[in-house]
Structure 1
Amino acid sequence: MESQPPPQVPQQPSSPHGVPSPSHRLHSPSGVAWATICGMLIAGGIVLALNYWKWGQKWFAAAAVVGGLLTTVILGRLAWVVPAGVPPVVFLVPQVMFGYFAARWLQGRRFDAHRAAGGTRVSPGIDALIGLGITTLLVGVSLVMLFVSGLNPKALVDFQDSVDFGQGQQVYYAQGATRDDAQRFGEVLVNAGYFDNSGPAEVLIAGRGRDRAFSFVDAGGAWDDPANVEYMRDLAEYIAPDIGGPPVTVVLLDENLDEQIRCILADNWHCSP
């Protein structure tokens, strides 16, 4: 009986130079860009961190995540304060370019060496899914925080664009009201003494013509104070000639932007909860 040759041990794939190819897959700079497109720079930072983690550089991995998070927070703050008319692409394109070139600078040589040795890369589609997952997580966390805070989501949409009168005194405008309307209304409030630089005060002008309403944010329960409601009547009578005359609708909001009382100045002054 003929002897059988011993079984062959499976060999690792080899590079063109005969050196075993790396067994792990790396995320490419283009993958970082796709993650950033779908999940902002926090997702790009996480994809960078995955490479560092595979290389055993856990401190660099943590730094990549923190850097991506901080950059995302800064850009989010900028997006909050710029006018609503600024297109989102103004913030997206710089993020994608920064993510790609940061990946090339930080990991490009090692990634190229990995590929030259026959190593494989993670599909950019996987990186895009990572970005989408991060976006889904962030949206979920934001919704939970909004729910816990008690803020009125509908009213929060109106409190986006504003004219700053200093000392935290803001006139927001929405629902057809313009920046010029807000500027003129704020100047009237300054002349009336409502804006007196004594502290923060937020008001909203919304709508146009007879449907226009003026909302005042007051966390102190002013709607339960008859003297304060009477003051709002005096204020409405004072500002009416400068804003087109009656009817004037005045709304008092609580700190969560929920309506507490609505008053209308027409032939008389009428309030309802």
Structure 2
Amino acid sequence: MGETYLLKRPGGGDLHVRRRLAEGPSVVFVHGFCGGGDLFSHLFSTTELAGYDLITFDLLGHGRSSASSGLVSDTDLTWFEDLSLVLDEVGGKPKVLVGWSMGTIGIAEYLTRARGGGSVSGVNLIAPAFSVGNEKAKHRSGARFSSAVSGLLSSDPARQRVGLVEFAEEVMGDVDPQACAAAIGVAALSDLAARRRLITTSVDYDEFYQSIEEPLLVSIGNNDPVIDSESTRQLMTGTRAKLSIYEGVGHAVHFAQSGRFVSELVGFLEDLGL
């Protein structure tokens, strides 16, 4: 399942990283709100990805990375700094970024601030959240998911516990119960300051992804209770992005149909000539 280690952040604290080193190009997975790198670890054992250098990490304030309180302000998103630190580990190898849900925001933050896009060869988005912290994002979010988020942002431990379960059920859907339990555990590790910072800071990357220079594969389920998949389809229509729709699948595309997801990701990598 790869090696795990900690990276020292220049601004303080550590990032927890998992890497399964291989000679091939690097594939870096970026989690979303209340997520963590462990929610990609099941992909590390797939034979189709055996030749690729696979990397996951926990954003500051998430998973087994350091808590964010006292290290950053309430409005300081750390996507760019954290992802830059991880990608520095890759060096000059070709790299593709795979972002799930709000990981979409993290990738956009990096690509818009890194010189030359940080030499990223391509991007795969899973159930993307193109905006957050504004009315557009609220309109695209499912009602029960919004209720779960409200609980996760509460200072009341009882409300937080209810929110954790609702959150995992909406995000994971009817995939393996063990995966749902893992999502609860991962979400519980995120600190309250990080949750509030990520979900309330207004960001909108609709236009960025409509005109992104890097090749783009977008993987969505048409039964997503978290983010309205139809809005994603409409947003990507007429762009250069390749849109892959999973019938009857919810938010966790890479869990619900992992075989197809991996096959399409490998096809995307091969089309890039990597």
Q: Normalising by structure 2, what TM-score?
A: 0.22
Larger Rg: 1
Structure with greater strand share of residues? 2
